[in-house]
Amino acid sequence: MDLTALIIKTVFILVVFGVTLLIAMYSTYAERKVASFIQDRIGPNRAGPFGLLQPLADAGKLFFKEDFIPSQANKGLFILGPCLAILTALMSSAVIPFGETFQFDNVLYALQGIEVNIGILYIFGVVSLGVYGIMVGGWASNNKFSLLGAIRAASQNISYEVALGLSIIAILMMTGSLSVSNIVTSQHGIAWNVFNQPLGFIIFLTCSFAECNRTPFDLPESENELVGGYHTEYSSMKLGFYLFSEYINMFVSSAVIASLYFGGYNYPGMDWVRETLTSSLGTTGHNLATLVGTMSLFGKIFFFIFFFMWVRWTVPRFRYDQLMNLGWKTLIPLSILNVIVTGAGLLYNIKYASWLIVAVMVILAIMSAARASKSQVRPQRS
């Protein structure tokens, strides 16, 4: 790799890093705004225009709070916990292709941190490391509630990782590649995977909610049951790192969902846009077309970030046994079924085979709803 390529890659990685942090920062603001809008309130609007400086104020407050370490805590691990959480959160965005190619000096550079042919495996490896941040933090703070929260977080993440991986397999079978950029390229135009894999998408979405510890899967930090979950003992910027890493995770998993199921930077009519721009503007046109693709990817990412928040104020938290039942007894068998049906479809060259499961499920649901006896509602005993 020559020097120019190295510099361009470095700049790109720094940009991705910066954008990730910026989006995570403003996700906290967006979270509060969305929450208040859904609850018929206005939300933060005092710091700066529309409250846009609110994240800065929050960060300032976190920095100036007392940084407290409990005397019985394991100091090294206590500090390591939040570092691990934020490190793993930031690492996973490296293999996501944020756009097509960037032309500089007649050389094309892919808008991707690193192009590895095992991209998906890399993401999964890093995401599963994310449990360590929570686990180490909960254990090191030497508090029973933290430990309970950490254990619940760990078991939840591990349970849902299985279904997450299985739901991806159907996509890998259809694409025939583990590389994220190949998966995105194969969804050219509007041939998005969500149209072939509706069930896989729903499973993946549910599991990524669980992986991000977002409601309805926010058992690790359910503050009304566990005081504060795994980060009960944390204060100041260590707590800030934990909360921040949750928002980074949300951004990254939105990006992964968009790349795997919603075509990444692909959008309908992209070829036409590229041709017109390139023929009229040349190299600049090529880069502009790439920029439009990147914009479409970010549009999808923002939609999913919004969706995460939207669901948070809609669905109540699962009980622990319900959570485990859903993960092990529903999502894993369903994703295995999805893999089998997709495989059979590939064998007989039927692209939309996994709609079969959806159709059967809808028919069963309608039948059971129709057959359900409109039984008398028994009055409550006083």
Partner 1 sequence: MQLSNRSKQVSHKEMTLAEKMYLPAIAQGLAITIKHFFSKKATVQYPEVKRYLGPVFRGHHVLKRDEEGRERCTACGLCAVACPAEAISMVAAERKKGEENLYREEKYAAVYEINMLRCIFCGLCEEACPKQAVYLRHDRLVPVFTERDQVIYGKDKLVENLNDRYVRTNTEVQATPTEPSLSRSAT
User: Residues in the site for partner 1, rule: CB under 8 A?
Assistant: 34, 37-42, 202, 310-311, 313-315, 361, 364-369, 371-372, 375, 377-380, 382
Beta-sheet pairing, 101-104 with 107-110:
antiparallel
**Helices (DSSP H) in 102-220: which residue ranges?**
119-140, 144-175, 180-185, 193-196, 198-211
Rank residues 15 and 366 by Cβ distance to partner 1 and give the closer one: 366
Rank residues 145 and 302 by Cβ distance to partner 1 and give the closer one: 302
Rank residues 295 and 363 by Cβ distance to partner 1 and give the closer one: 363
Rank residues 39 and 279 by Cβ distance to partner 1 and give the closer one: 39
- Say how far apart CA 290 and CA 278 lie, in whole Å: 11
| Shortest Cβ 203–partner 1 spacing (Å) | 12
| Shortest Cβ 324–partner 1 spacing (Å) | 16
User: What is the longest distance spanned by two Cα atoms in the chain?
Assistant: 81
| Shortest Cβ 54–partner 1 spacing (Å) | 16
For every residue of 132-153, DSSP letters joined together read HHHHHHHHHTT-HHHHHHHHHH
Close Cβ partners of 173 (under 8 Å, ≥ 6 residues apart): 339, 342, 343, 346
| Shortest Cβ 45–partner 1 spacing (Å) | 8
- Say how far apart CA 40 and CA 19 lie, in whole Å: 30
Rank residues 117 and 314 by Cβ distance to partner 1 and give the closer one: 314
At 171, the amino acid letter reads I
Rank residues 41 and 144 by Cβ distance to partner 1 and give the closer one: 41
> What phi, psi does 103 have (nearest 5°)?
-95, 125
Closest CA to 253 of 192, 215, 304: 304
The number of beta carbons lying within 10 Å of the beta carbon of residue 137 is: 33
Rank residues 15 and 363 by Cβ distance to partner 1 and give the closer one: 363
Separation in Å, CA 329 to CA 39, 225, 322, 355: 34, 25, 10, 21
- Say how far apart CA 205 and CA 194 lie, in whole Å: 11
| Shortest Cβ 20–partner 1 spacing (Å) | 26
| Shortest Cβ 376–partner 1 spacing (Å) | 9
Close Cβ partners of 260 (under 8 Å, ≥ 6 residues apart): 168, 171, 180, 183, 193, 204
| Shortest Cβ 37–partner 1 spacing (Å) | 5
Rank residues 129 and 311 by Cβ distance to partner 1 and give the closer one: 311
| Shortest Cβ 362–partner 1 spacing (Å) | 9
- Say how far apart CA 357 and CA 165 lie, in whole Å: 19
